[in-house]
Amino acid sequence: MIIDLQRFVAAGQPHWSELEKMLTHLEAEPNATLSLEKLTRFHQLYERASADLARITTFSSEPATRRYLEHLVARAYGEIHETRERRSRLQLLKWFFHTLPQTFRRHVRAFFLTVAITLAGCAFGGMALIFDPDSRHVTMAFGHDQMTPEERVRQEEQSAGDRLDGQKSSFSAYLMTHNTKVSIFTLALGMTWGVGTIILLFYNGIIMGAIAVDYIMAGQTKFLLGWLMPHGVIEIPAILIAGQAGLLLAHALIGWGTRVPLSARLRAVSADVTTLIFGVALMLVWAGFVEAFLSQYHEPIIPYSVKIAFGTVELVLLVLFLAKSGTKAAAMGAPVSDPARSEVVLDTSRIGDRRSADA
């Protein structure tokens, strides 16, 4: 424990202060780039502080200096050894047209799994309604079990005036926020090893299947398509993509067929999960607008054919966007958000080599 603490601090303090100053600068301006000389100096100061920490841990009992050095080394360690991509600035268009669809395609198998789970739910809900019509009271949400499809269609088509008059935008905002919360919940339940996500997707499928079969059996297919397609072709895929993100999380958590540690697996999918959920939020904003301003209006106000055509165009555009957008950039080797492919920001070993060569 006996060292000349005063001498030790006096000798180290100028270097520690210099390192702290550089760290404060780097933390305040994350996009700042350092020249090679400054990087080399930064690395030297980090090594010096590390060595001082090692010495004071071994020889001294002085906790305040040790804590100060630990704090300094921890901050510098994060700056020096971080290898994940550092985005220079938020490029919204690039993110939307490249990163989002590329991320979706990279995990498309998880998406297909969510589709399969939802379709299984649809089949279950539809079959339940066919074989047990009374099940409508259990399988249908949002009050759809309170009236038959014929009654609903008659009521909608005969309603004079705009029943959403003066509340369209607030209804739209409610839909956006509610659906986004459901999507985040679907994603978050991925941490239950995917069980919660699968249950939510299956339950959504049951509701959709029961309602669809109910309207089809009542001969109201055209109304059903005109009612659901304008917003549903965006809203349903959005929920499925949230489920995709949830399953991605679950897959990383379970770690089938890989020896990579849990933390590394979760770290690898973290950026993609964030990208997907932001994409979902954008899709639900659009779906909320369409549902409030278009889907709730039926014939004779808006012909069903127009609504169906609108929904079809949206669906085609969505499929094209998810399947094709950003493919050229990916083929040309543009950087993607996968952390595993990110560039090393600062390769300290090279700096070390260069320094020893200079010496």
The one among 91, 174, 258, 313 contacting other proteins by CB under 8 A: 174
Residues 175-194 that bind other proteins (CB under 8 A): 176-177, 180-181, 184-185, 187-189, 191-192
**Among the listed residues 117, 298, 119, the one whose alpha carbon sits nearest the alpha carbon of residue 222:** 298
Q: Which residues contact 341 (CB under 8 A, 6 or more apart)?
A: 335
Residues 133-172 that bind other proteins (CB under 8 A): 166-170, 172
Q: At what angle do helices 304-324 and 221-254 cross, to 10 degrees?
A: 20
Task: Enumerate the H helices of 98-148 as residue ranges.
Answer: 100-106, 108-131, 136-139
Q: Are 39 and 348 in contact (CB under 8 A)?
A: no
> E-assigned strands of 121-172?
none
Q: Which is nearer to other proteins, 139 or 172 (CB)?
A: 172
Residue that is written with structure tokens 């941490």 in the block: 191
Asked if 273 touches other proteins (CB under 8 A), the answer is yes
- Please give the C-alpha separations between residue 342 and each of 105, 236, 345, 348, in angstroms, as whole numbers: 18, 32, 9, 16
Residue that is written with structure tokens 């492919």 in the block: 341
Window 19-58: contact mask with other proteins (x via CB under 8 A): -x------x-------------------x--xx-xx--x-
Stretch that binds other proteins, among 68-76, 133-141, 154-162, 318-326 (CB under 8 A): 68-76
Residues 192-221 that bind other proteins (CB under 8 A): 192, 196
Asked if 63 touches other proteins (CB under 8 A), the answer is yes
Size of residue set near other proteins by CB under 8 A: 71
Q: Are 294 and 122 in contact (CB under 8 A)?
A: no
The one among 36, 64, 331, 332 contacting other proteins by CB under 8 A: 64
Q: Are 209 and 121 in contact (CB under 8 A)?
A: yes
What is the smallest separation between the CB atom of 174 and other proteins, expressed in angstroms? 5
Q: Which is nearer to other proteins, 26 or 129 (CB)?
A: 26
**Among the listed residues 58, 73, 65, the one whose alpha carbon sits nearest the alpha carbon of residue 23:** 73
Residues 70-89 that bind other proteins (CB under 8 A): 70-71, 73-74, 77-79, 81-82, 84
Q: Which is nearer to other proteins, 57 or 146 (CB)?
A: 57
Residue that is written with structure tokens 């100061």 in the block: 45
Residues 308-327 that bind other proteins (CB under 8 A): none
Asked if 1 touches other proteins (CB under 8 A), the answer is yes
